[in-house]
């Protein structure tokens, strides 16, 4: 049995029938939905789409399970053990047993889209064997292969995996459940034959004080967008060694400080171009901390794919 958080102040079940359950959760700065399909007895597929800062979803397994997670977009921050945090990012496949799972997730980019295929091991093994006679994959062998320690097995950007999951996002609703049956079996076959040597990525983990300092750095940078801080300044201000600061920032936000802030500034600038008719390109460049409109235009084109005036013309309406 998998226990989910009950309907309450920040949580509601929109639909629940034999084939599908749709839940909505809302919290800090946004909301999210999850759509869970019951495929075989003991096998569920959940599509998650969150646009918020964090959520508590009360997931609490009380039986032996195997979870295969895929991140399509965004990233998740989760505590893995004793105040240490890891990050699940775009293109990742994660296979685990949810041993360290608090039911709380943070979304550093305020968005996450992904899928989870959950197997309740005893029931799922029996039901797959009953419905697909002679299916050559043993779920318990998959669990032993990928879950030989307490922490999840993470594989980044595996082409075959990404292809399988991309097709799961293109299924016609009318036949979705039946297609999912086939895609789940295809994924199990893929994982069964995949050589795991050199596939697993050893992700660094970071302690709470490091993550909190990096988030404070993020607040400083985004609230003072016209100011260009050096990495050395930030390291000294927040008493965080330069190397640790750089690696932790990239883990939390997916980019280096410089790359992240360039994208952040250009996206803010793009909004100003469309929303404030009184500001010209030079003024917007100044607000973003650029003293040269030419350098600003070069950065804008690199991020947004076109020069500021062309962007304004093509997106104005």
Which of residues 265 and 276 earns the better pLDDT score?
265
Model confidence pLDDT, tens digit, residues 169-228: 998 888 898 999 999 999 999 999 998 877 777 677 899 999 999 999 999 999 999 999
**CA–centroid distance for 290 within its chain:** 32
Hey, what's the torsion of the CAs at 247, 210, 92, 144, to 10 degrees? Answer: 120
User: The tokens of 265 are what?
Assistant: 């500034």
Element (H, E) at 172: none
pLDDT at 305: 95
Instruction: Give the tokens for residue 35.
Output: 């759509």
Q: Tell me what pLDDT residue 5 has.
A: 47
The SS3 of residue 81 is strand
Residue 199 pLDDT: 72
The whole-number pLDDT of residue 3 equals 40
Quickly state the pLDDT bin for 4 (edges 50, 70, 90): very low
Q: Mean pLDDT, the chain, as a whole number?
A: 90
CB 41 within 8 A of CB 1: no
- Return the residue matching tokens 């297609």: 179
Average pLDDT on 262-281 reads 93
Tokens read off for 229: 């801080």
Sorted by where each starts, the structural domains of the chain and their CATH numbers stand as 2-193 (2.60.120.10), 208-315 (1.10.10.60)
Strand ranges for 151-217 from DSSP E: 153-156, 206-207
- The H helix count followed by the E strand count for the chain is 11, 14
């Amino acid at each position: 049995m998998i226990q989910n958080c009950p309907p309450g102040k920040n949580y509601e079940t929109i639909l629940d029938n034999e084939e599908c359950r749709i839940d909505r959760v809302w919290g800090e700065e946004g909301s999210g939905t999850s759509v869970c399909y019951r495929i075989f007895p003991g096998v569920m597929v959940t599509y998650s789409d969150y646009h918020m800062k964090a959520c508590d979803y009360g997931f609490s397994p009380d039986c032996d399970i195997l979870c295969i997670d895929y991140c399509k977009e965004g990233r998740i921050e989760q505590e893995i053990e004793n105040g240490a945090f890891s990050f699940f990012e775009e293109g990742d496949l994660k296979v685990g047993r949810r041993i360290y799972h608090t039911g709380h997730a943070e979304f550093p980019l305020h968005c996450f889209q992904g899928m989870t295929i959950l197997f309740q091991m005893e029931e799922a093994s029996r039901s797959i064997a009953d419905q697909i006679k002679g299916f050559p994959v043993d779920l318990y062998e998959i669990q032993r292969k990928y879950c030989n320690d307490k922490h999840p097995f993470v594989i980044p950007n595996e082409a075959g995996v990404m292809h399988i999951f991309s097709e799961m996002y293109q299924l016609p609703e009318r036949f979705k459940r039946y297609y999912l049956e086939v895609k789940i079996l295809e994924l199990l076959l893929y994982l069964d034959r995949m050589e795991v040597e050199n596939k697993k990525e050893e992700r660094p983990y970071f302690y709470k004080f490091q993550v909190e300092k990096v988030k404070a750095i993020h607040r400083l940078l985004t609230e003072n967008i016209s100011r260009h801080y050096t990495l050395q300044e930030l390291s000294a201000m927040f008493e965080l060694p330069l190397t640790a600061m750089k690696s932790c920032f990239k883990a939390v936000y997916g980019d280096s400080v410089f790359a992240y802030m360039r994208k952040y500034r250009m996206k803010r600038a793009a909004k100003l171009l469309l929303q404030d008719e009184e500001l010209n390109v030079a003024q917007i460049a100044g607000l973003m901390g650029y003293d040269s409109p030419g350098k600003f235009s070069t950065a804008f084109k690199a991020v947004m794919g076109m020069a500021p005036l062309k962007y304004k013309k093509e997106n104005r309406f």
